[in-house]
Structure 1
Amino acid sequence: MKKWMGASLAAIMLFGLVAGISNAAATAPTFVSVVMDGYKIWFPDAQAFVDDNNRTLVPVRFVAEKMKAKVGWESKTMTVPIERDSQQILLTVGSSKALVNGEEVTFDTKAIMQKERTFVPLRFVSEVLGADVKWDASISTVFITTKEDAVAKYDEWGRLIRTTDLPKNATDYPYILADVPNEMYEMKRPHSHPDPAESKVASELYTSIPEFKKENIDIWMERLKSFGAVWLNADYRTIDYSWADELFVNKVQLNGSELKYIKRYVDWVKENQIQMEGFLDPEPSMIYDDGFGGYHVRSKFRIKFNGFKKNEKLVYDTWFPDDLQLEKSIWYEGYTDVYLSTNVGGNWGKTLRVDPQASLFRNYIMKKAG
């Protein structure tokens, strides 16, 4: 008998992406966003990422379920049964073949099991479930389309725009997204210049600053994703100084002094036996100029600490709260403003990087994930 339970399925995208890093740094899994019919999918645990073989892996159970499919798991046979309309699909871990209504479909890579999750090829999404799938390497995003809506309006990043139930400060933004809650829009702003005329909200930046064009913003968002993939993922059993190199390469480098502090954190991860996993997903339409020369990108994050000895300085962050008590093996989620800056004048569009003072905890909201 089939058991329709919470077995997670994922898709190995047949597109590659490797974040640019220093030669000394080991490649961290790049966080990948998934947008389906204009809505970004927030996965509760296993996140989309690029593996060591340049394959993009995406949790797809939620995609299949959003397409009205039932996803199951048979532990004895290591198979994943899927039902959608009249389709009967059977995937087997370790096999590059699937059965669709009794007919064999072959892919060019095998379904695998990792961290108790099943991963299968992207062609499963496009050829078996019938969705249109596109990959935007510039922003590490997979776009899945199951239906066309000629009336709806979308932003430059394929996100659906809404015009109802708007946040109180809706005019601060160029538009309001259908998949972003008002809580994220209405969160207080970072510390700003005392003269209000010196700071600028996102709607002003997009209309008055030449550097605010998609080409540049894509670069900033990709750097933030790459930074977050290192910043929020550390394991004392495997970490070394290449982790510090990789984190440092996405930051503004006024000099090399910060690198020694990052290496001290690496030592602390080993001493405190820290194990954490997480991701940072920046929102390009939510950038704020604080008036001091810094730009703050509002981002969603999820983080989980699987182990540590002391509840101290668990993240490389000068603003880590001394009184913050975090439970082990619990996913936390929230929003934060990540500080970006540059030491280049004139046309600085491509040079914006994570500022040395960037913090997950300076201006944030965090709670246990539901």
Structure 2
Amino acid sequence: MTLRLTSAPVSGVKKRKSTPKPRNSPFAAHARRKPSPAAAGAAKAAAEDLVDDDPLPDIGGSHFISETAQVQNVVQAIQSIRTRMFDELPQRAGMNSTRIAEVLNLRRSLPPLASVAHIHTLLNAPTQVEREIVELVQTGRVRRLIVPGRGNDAAGLGDCLVLAEDWEGLVRGSTGLDTELKEKFLDILSRIGTSSALSQSIFTPDEYRALIRAGFLVSSSSYTQGSLNVASLPNLPRAAISSASRSGPVHPSDIDRAVQTDAQARAATLFLSLPNTGTYLRLLGTGRAHLLALLRRSTCNEAPMHLLKDRWNGAVETEKSFHLAKRARGEFAGILPGRTKKWKELYGMQFRWVLEEALGAGQVEMFETGSVGPGVRCL
């Protein structure tokens, strides 16, 4: 005898499964057909219209940088430029410990320089800024460092300023100089005024070799190599040319002898410098070139500032909520910062910092669009 759980099979009652009736589609009466070539062409034209190849609207120059810069004088501008050069290291950098150590060590080794062009960009008052720079240099609060061969105009890289206390701190913190030489060098710096050249006879051979190895002096012979001529060196003593005082015609041999005498006098001249100045200038030049390359990707060599910033930072993941949600789901949220050029070659250089440099050098200009914020145009 079998036991049944329900009485339905015994009583013969069967439940009917109700099947919903299919609804008639409102498009069922229309005939199906493939899109015509004309319709496909219209769709393609509409898609091409979405690509913005037209120049951005220009309603006038933009003072976005100078209006948002929180500086009031040259000293504050120098300090701001020094502290804002690099972005902070992200938590998920995508770099191993060796690479992170290289990035941090290079940042720490760079000299506390600020280009004059960058300062003009932040303050946007050329006459007042130049007057203040001259006063600070004459009072000894700021020293002006000019690197021959790097350009002394606005677009050049060789006209920089450094605070006197920062210079003194570098000298006192140098491990390659003894205490006596440090005090002697600082005393000479306080007495030479605005000059950037020193006579080699001031130091003993061991002293000036130690200063050159430490990076605080550079020989003029290193500037005379390559395309840089001797006459372009600043603040050099005038050599006594014996042939110039002679009466009568000047022979080619006299000119050669005069050039040799002048070169010998210049070879005995040393110029002030700071450790790793060349590394700083190369990094600055590379950052400017990369910014211009990103800007030239646009058809009209111009782009909104926010779009240019995204190109500079790269398609990296951030700590925003939607990126965190993607990472939690195991989805792709962007590449790690260590794989971008900003961190591989520029050591995390900040976008606004390099934009200010290029703007002060006259390589780009900013303008108001009236719709998408400030725009940047390559000159």
Task: Calculate the TM-score normalised by the size of structure 1.
Answer: 0.21
Name the one with the larger helix percent: 2
Name the one with the larger strand percent: 1
Structure having the higher Rg: 2
Task: Calculate the TM-score normalised by the size of structure 2.
Answer: 0.20
